[in-house]
């Protein structure tokens, strides 16, 4: 698994990319076994888009069929930075979803993921469910950061990191809107092979609520994971197989929680080694 920095990455994309007669720039990337071809108004947008590309991406030659166009940006126009940012964010989100939906070897679950004392916690939930806030709070308390967007599941039921700058919705983007937690990422061994999952926690936030949790049986935990799996209806057999393997290692819980900082001690208790898979 390759985690990219900016050094040389844009040069690779420019070298393999193509400038069209209209001045548009066509380039390709590959991540998690998926090739994508993207059209930008010009190559100057690569510097900003680079920080939004999916984790593990590699530069690839563009294909004839264009997967995504960056809409809403006109090269040389006076459109505001907000339009530029919105267009780039929309493009990045679309690319991430396409990779999650098409990956031939991995199943992507909408979830935050952290590791605490060697035990991996998966927090499934759709957007606006508070995953990023809870992940950030756990990392601030010493957890290892895996993801705030996707749990990437291998055929063996292991969890791969999906390392990107964490997005918090109560702040602005570039640079404040994403907090860089990649310094708290796992070591190289965990990056390459994945980590054994320990706990799946389906949390519901209620302002002022006191913590309460209930164990999930394996079938219920599987249902919750399936509900948050990208492209589940298009490949149910593969999704079931990967997620069932995951649940050979992990137990499941559902909880009602209040603020993230008040929740952390209860999560730590759930991750105690005596809590065995159901």
**Are 113 and 155 within one domain?**
yes
Q: Which of 46, 67, 102 finishes a domain?
A: 102
Is residue 181 included in any domain, yes or no? yes
Structure confidence at residue 32 (pLDDT): 95
Interval 135-192: pLDDT, tens? 989 998 889 999 989 999 999 999 999 987 655 444 433 344 445 555 566 665 556 6
Task: Please identify which residue in the block is written with the tokens 């005596």.
Answer: 274
Is residue 3 included in any domain, yes or no? no
**Are 240 and 253 within one domain?**
yes
Ranges 30-39, 97-106, 269-278: which has the least confidence:
269-278
- Residue 188: give its domain's CATH number: 3.90.228.20
Residue 106, burial from CB neighbour count under 10 angstroms (0-12, 13-18, 19+): buried
> Which tokens go with 241?
């197989």
Number of structural domains found in the chain: 2
Is residue 175 included in any domain, yes or no? yes
Interior/surface letters 130-143, b for 16+ CB within 10 angstroms, e for the rest: bbbbbbbbbbeeeb
**Are 29 and 122 within one domain?**
no
Residues spanned by the domain of 25: 9-102
């Amino acid at each position: 698994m390759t985690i990219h920095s900016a050094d040389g990455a844009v040069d690779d994309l420019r070298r393999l990319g193509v400038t069209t007669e209209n001045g548009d720039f066509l380039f390709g990337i590959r991540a998690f076994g998926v090739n994508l071809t993207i059209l930008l108004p010009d190559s100057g947008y690569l510097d900003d888009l680079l920080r939004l590309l999916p984790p593990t991406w590699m530069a690839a030659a563009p294909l004839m069929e264009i997967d995504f166009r960056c809409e809403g940006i006109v090269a040389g126009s006076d459109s505001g930075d907000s339009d530029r940012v919105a267009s780039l964010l929309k493009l990045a989100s679309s690319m991430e979803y396409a990779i999650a939906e098409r990956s031939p070897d991995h199943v992507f679950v909408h979830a935050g993921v952290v590791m605490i004392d060697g035990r991996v916690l998966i927090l499934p939930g759709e957007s606006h469910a508070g995953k990023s806030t809870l992940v950030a709070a756990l990392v601030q308390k010493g957890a290892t950061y895996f993801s705030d967007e996707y749990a990437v599941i291998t055929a063996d039921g292991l969890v791969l990191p999906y390392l990107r700058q964490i997005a918090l919705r109560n702040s602005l983007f570039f640079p404040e809107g994403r907090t860089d937690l990649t310094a708290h990422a796992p070591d190289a061994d965990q990056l390459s092979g994945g980590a054994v999952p320990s706990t799946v926690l389906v949390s519901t936030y209620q302002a002022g609520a006191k913590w309460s949790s209930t164990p999930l049986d394996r079938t219920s935990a599987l249902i919750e994971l399936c509900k948050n799996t990208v492209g589940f209806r298009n490949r149910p057999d593969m999704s079931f197989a990967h997620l069932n393997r995951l649940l050979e290692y992990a137990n499941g819980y559902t909880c009602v929680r209040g603020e993230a900082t008040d929740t952390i001690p209860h999560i730590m208790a759930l991750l105690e080694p005596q809590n065995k898979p159901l």
